Chain A
Amino acid sequence: MALGRETWRLALKLIVRQPGRSALTMLGLAIGVGAFIAMVSFGEGARKSVVAQFEVLGTNLIKVQNTTPAVNPRARPSIPTGDNEVKLIRREATTVAQVVPVARRAASVAWGGEQRPSYVNGVTPGYLGLHSWDVAAGGNFDASDLTEAAKVCLLGKTNVKELFGDRDPLGETVTLAGMMPCRVVGVLAEKGFSTNAADLDDIVLVPVTTYNAHLTDRPIYAYIEVEPLTKDLLDSARAEITDILRRGHGLEDDEPNDFSVSSPLEVIRAADRTARILGTLLAAIAGVSLLVGGIGIMNIQLVSVAERTEEIGVRAAIGASPSQILTQFLIEALILTMLGTFVGVTLGIGVATLVAQNMGWPRVISPSGVLFSAGFGIAVGILFGYLPARRAALLDPIHALRRQ
């Protein structure tokens, strides 16, 4: 019908000429759509941020620690995690790429007459790769440093900043724990803070052999980190390690483990699940506000049909058919809906951006979420625009004209 474009144009004119009423009609839907987009974005942003924080712990990683059987003081004392466990796993495990013992203690770091408390980790060269930790300057220590128990170290950013300021630490000799000098061969890239707000850059890494020789009197590890051959093998590797250590520790079948074999991935998965549930909840609440926005459109359009009885009667008298009047009101609702949705999308993205900036999480605007809420908004508008439009079309023109 030739009516099409003209009807759109006239409807748009009517909408523009009554800006107050139009704005009021759109408001609910705009807020609904905006809220939906913002909430979905909050949910995703929060989830990504939580997961990212946990990913610092490493995603392809198994952690072996000894556990103190505090529940039963008369049980025999657990065997501390040490070289024995490292050797057992290295020798017997088939699903494991590398085993990294991590010895750890608090120790002072001193250079040029200045000294600060920090932490020293004794590790193998594989430690950095395992934690996707880069070297910002210099390089990692290597296998020969490990076998020779070389007095070399890598400094975390915090130690570099505090002790060296702007000066270059590479090649300098720092003193650890007031007794062990070692040469700085590398500076670690900045890692930030862990989930429990510990400064991950406040650290010094040395070969574990060096650590055992100079920084401790017995080789006990804080934990042993194990990298499975592939991510898929994570669970089988955990089972295998548990098996090996139970046998190695001579545990009877009815005895509980005196060690734990855990993976940060579990924590990440749990955090992810929780965040997803929260996100879904947010989206559901926002969905309700979308619906309310649609009902708002319906209400105002219904009131508008009642207010515009005379107009509808006049149009009918002039020769507008019921279907043309239906179309007119539907198009009006559709334009208002689209405008409302557009405003809502803009609003939602704006709010999501602002909040993401303030919360320091990534701004995640999923196109599918925007598309869904826009589609849903428009569908709601048409659905709730139809009822008033039908009422207008069915209005008896005489009745409409008599009522003045």
Chain B
Amino acid sequence: MPTPVIETLGLSKVYQGSVGGVPVLSHVDLTIEYGEVVALRGPSGSGKSTLLNILGCLDRPSRGRYVLGGSDVSGLTREEQAWVRLHYIGFVFQSFHLLAHATALENVTLPLHYAGVPRGRADETARDLLARVGLSHRGSHFPAQLSGGERQRVAIARALTARPPLLLADEPTGALDTKTGAEIMRLLLDLHKERGTSIILVTHDPVVADYADRQIFLRDGKVVDTEEAQVGARA
């Protein structure tokens, strides 16, 4: 049996200062295989973003183990976390989070810059990726000059330049209209097929979630099975 890309065991998160130490995540056990597309669903405030941040090594669990690509990454230093993010993880956000003073091409090149790839090669890779997401003519545009859909395409290209095995997307279509959102989803799935990137996708939208191989439901920081979640949603 091959190693899963993600394995968590009893993952919990308690924010200091939250009232009575109420956990935002409690005992989350997850296994995600290489090449899977998983939708993470749940009501607002159920802890989806918190889980995604821990999986993305932006945050640390309060308790539990997190094994990424076979290595325990629960207790890394901030420098080590950065290294893991750089080489293993690509992020896509609801609000794009492009650097406003950098062009589309520079935004896409950025991870390669931090990885120390020489500029010529980095630019070439970035240009290819921009072309792949359909923006070869927009390389020298600044984010403010791009539409929402175009910005998210740039963000996706940026998340994939360093060829990470794992892409984390927190409501990537949340700020887009339905049609553009569907295009972005199709792009993500195409890239997934071409590159074999595993994707964890946070979404409210059942239509978007249907693109995924598998759905995981969170409720009050706990993983619940589908029926329970739907009961909860109806209640």
Give the interface of A toward B (CB within 8 A).
1-3, 6-7, 9-10, 13-14, 17-18, 310-311, 313-324, 397-398, 401, 404
Inter-chain contact B114/A324, CB cutoff 8 Å: yes
Q: How far is the CA of A320 from the CA of B57 in the complex (A)?
A: 12
Residues of B within 8 A of A320 (CB): 82, 86, 114
Q: Max chain A CB contacts within 10 Å: which of B97, B118, B119?
A: B97
Nearest-Cβ distance from residue A263 to partner chain B, whole angstroms: 68
Nearest-Cβ distance from residue B62 to partner chain A, whole angstroms: 14
Residues of B within 8 A of A1 (CB): 116
Choose one: A3, A310, A397; the contact of B58 (CB below 8 Å).
Answer: A397
Q: Provide the B50-76 mask, 1 if CB < 8 A to any CB of A, else 0.
A: 000100101100000000000000000
Q: Max chain B CB contacts within 10 Å: which of A1, A317, A397?
A: A317
Residues of A within 8 A of B111 (CB): 318-319
Interface-located stretch among B38-46, B87-95, B195-203, B220-228: B87-95
Residues of A within 8 A of B91 (CB): 317-318
State the interface size on chain B (CB cutoff 8 A). 32
Inter-chain contact B116/A317, CB cutoff 8 Å: no
Inter-chain contact B110/A315, CB cutoff 8 Å: yes
Q: How far is the CA of A323 from the CA of B83 in the complex (A)?
A: 11
Q: How far is the CA of A6 from the CA of B78 in the complex (A)?
A: 23
Inter-chain contact B101/A318, CB cutoff 8 Å: no
Inter-chain contact A17/B101, CB cutoff 8 Å: yes
Choose one: B87, B97, B99, B101; the contact of A401 (CB below 8 Å).
Answer: B97
Give 30 A-B contacts (CB < 8 Å), ordered by A residue.
Answer: A2-B116, A3-B113, A6-B113, A14-B101, A310-B97, A311-B99, A311-B100, A313-B97, A314-B97, A316-B58, A317-B91, A317-B97, A318-B85, A319-B82, A319-B83, A319-B85, A319-B115, A319-B162, A321-B78, A321-B79, A321-B83, A322-B78, A322-B79, A322-B82, A324-B82, A324-B114, A398-B53, A401-B58, A401-B97, A404-B95
Q: Is B219 an interface residue (CB 8 A)?
A: no
Known: A313-B97, A324-B114, A398-B53. 4 other contacts (CB 8 A): A10-B113, A18-B101, A321-B79, A401-B58
Residues of A within 8 A of B56 (CB): 317
Closest residue of chain B to A393 (Cβ to Cβ) is B78
Q: How far is the CA of A316 from the CA of B158 in the complex (A)?
A: 13
Nearest-Cβ distance from residue B189 to partner chain A, whole angstroms: 22
Q: How far is the CA of A321 from the CA of B86 in the complex (A)?
A: 9
Inter-chain contact B59/A319, CB cutoff 8 Å: no
Residues of A within 8 A of B79 (CB): 321-323
Residues of B within 8 A of A10 (CB): 106, 113
